[in-house]
A = this chain, B = another copy of it.
């Protein structure tokens, strides 16, 4: 049977396939991914996909990298917009970024799960592909903390943060091979991330439905509290 595709129609693209995959995962969960089912939905036979992704794992990798990139973009533009719109205050920009973190997770639950949920059995993410985008997202937060730190607004030598001397924080070099972040900045970033991440994970998988009635309000309260404790928010909002 001849291919029905005419030259006007866009035909199969890597983008098409990824979109189909994302849609399928939305319905079936991250482990419901299936080359054959994606092909079926695109009105194409399964082997056709091999022209774009030699193996299923390559498709998964592409989806993961896309997700990290999309999240990093969302965080980055949220920070920039807040800077342009409201003020240059790093605390307020950080607040906008943290709001966006949750918003992105709730708007893209499948992709968030793909990144941060159970590892897919038998699949090993190639770090050299996924790591840069993953780091870029977290660096948005670290950069704002660094800015506050350089303004002397974070706890430091004069106003020491409780931080045990034996605690060794791994060194994460800044994006462009610049000087590494000071360990106070990394510590605060990680600490805040843990808190926020736990909230979102438990909300996403519905472990807190009987405990918290308005998870959005709760989140908002927590991030304001967090930033206020660091001296980054003087007035509310």
Contacts and interface: CB of A to CB of B under 8 A. Distances in A.
Interface of A: 28-32, 113, 116-121, 134, 162-164, 166-170, 172, 186, 190-191, 193-199, 201-202, 205, 207-214, 217-218, 221-222, 225, 228
B172 A205 contact: no
B170 A213 contact: yes
A209 B134 CA distance: 13
A25 to B, nearest CB: 10
B169 A121 contact: no
A116 B207 contact: yes
Given A197-B201, A199-B194, A207-B116, A225 B162 contact: yes
A170 B211 contact: yes
A172 B210 contact: yes
A167 B31 contact: no
16 contacts: A29-B120, A30-B118, A31-B121, A32-B121, A116-B202, A117-B117, A117-B118, A168-B213, A170-B210, A172-B210, A186-B211, A191-B222, A195-B195, A197-B201, A197-B202, A201-B201
A146 to B, nearest CB: 15
